[in-house]
Chain A
Amino acid sequence: MEDKEILTKIREKEYRETGFSLLVKKYQQRIYWHIRKMVIDHDDADDILQEVFIKVWKGIDKFREDSSLYTWIYRIATHESLNYLNRKRRRSMFSLDDVNQELSRKLDQSSHIDGTEIQMKLQKALLKLPDKQRLVFNMKYFDDMKYEEISAITDTSVGGLKASYHHAVKKIEEYLTRD
């Protein structure tokens, strides 16, 4: 179903919940995987996914359609994921490396993680990157998003994104070659 039809349903009081259910079913997988790649752990990703859709539910009446529904939900998910990582750092008073080491440990120990050696190595290499660079890399490499789409979500210039992705790829290839 098209976003326009979903939004129309949500805006009719009688069909609001049905419309919202359609929205959740349409976007839950893409948004979940976007979050999961940032926070690694399934339970954390599940919590954040719920928060994202609760914020969508609360804010949908204020959504002005300046951007597409897809971009708007992605933006919320991006902010929630980055906020989660920032809060984790601030509240635990961990340094950048400590939180990333914790995420790295989760890669080894959490349930619902089962990959080949190279898949695990790539994820560990990604955890060496700053959060925002990792985010851009995930959207470009894993999700095959266009720079223009990433730009709309992150409010960053296409040039800046290209540079960020280029640096990320270089660092990851160095890491994979070295270790």
Chain B
Amino acid sequence: MKLDDNHKKTPFRIPDQYFEEFPDRLGKRIREESGKGGGKLVSLPAFIKMGIAASFLVLITFGIFHLTSGDRSADQMLAKIPTESLLVYLEESEMSFDELMETVDAELIVPDGNLMESGLISDEEIENELIEDIITDYELEFEI
């Protein structure tokens, strides 16, 4: 069967008035975030973002080391990190604390204890996650 222009319609539909109402909903959300965060829509300087990214990379690296060596729990590992650093990271990455803990739990159940060697998360993926979550200039490489 050959693809032709007859197949170009999609089955996707939208609620009534969706595009008419979207700009107002978005504007409301932006105003709420601005008010709540006391200027949250203003980005942190790049060097602070890079500092947070680097700190978190160190956290993950040491966290995995401790987890695999079997002498630290996830709670102990997180307790080592200053609360302010975690809060800043969570706010910047928009990751909830529960999601952070889920990530740690996932690491704990890796069979041989070595997350990198398990193939579940590679160095590259961890690095990409940090970059994706923190850097917002969207001028990254894209491979097919």
Contact of B23 with A90 in the complex, beta carbons under 8 Å: no
Q: Which residue of A lies closest to B99 (CB)?
A: A91
Minimal beta-carbon separation of B101 from chain A (angstroms): 12
Q: Tell me the bound Cα distance from A154 to B139 in angstroms.
A: 10
Give complex CA distance A78, B9 in Å: 21
B22 CB contact (under 8 Å) in A28, A113, A169: A28
Stretch binding the partner chain, chosen from A3-11, A97-105, A155-163 = A155-163
Q: How many angstroms between the C-alpha atoms of A116 and B11 in the bound complex?
A: 7
Q: How many residues of chain B get a CB closer than 8 Å to chain A's CBs? A: 42
Once bound together, how far apart are the Cα atoms of A33 and B33, in whole Å? 26
Q: Is A91 in contact with B9, judged by CB distance below 8 angstroms?
A: no
Which one of B12-20, B58-66, B81-89 is at the A interface? B12-20
In the complex, which residues 5-59 of chain A have their Cβ closer than 8 Å to any Cβ of chain B? 17, 21, 24-25, 28-29, 32-33, 36-37, 40, 42, 46, 49-50, 53-55, 57-59
Residues of chain A within 8 A (CB-CB) of B15 are 42, 112
A123 & B11 in contact (Cβ 8 Å cutoff): yes
Q: How far is the CA of A132 from the CA of B23 in the complex (A)?
A: 29
Write the nearest CB–CB distance from B17 to chain A, whole angstroms: 13
Q: Which of B22, B102, B103, B137 contacts A49 (CB 8 A)?
A: B22
- Pick the residue among B2, B12, B26, B33 that contacts A42 (CB under 8 A): B12
- Complex interface: chain A residues within 8 A of B29 (CB): 50, 54
Which residues, 85 to 119 on A, are CB-close (under 8 Å) to B? Answer: 90-91, 93, 107, 112-116, 118-119
Q: Which of B23, B102, B103, B141 is A155 in contact with, Cβ under 8 Å?
A: B141
B: residues with CB less than 8 A from A are 1-3, 7-15, 18-19, 22-23, 25-27, 29-30, 33, 41-43, 99, 102-103, 106, 120-121, 125, 129, 132, 136-138, 140-144
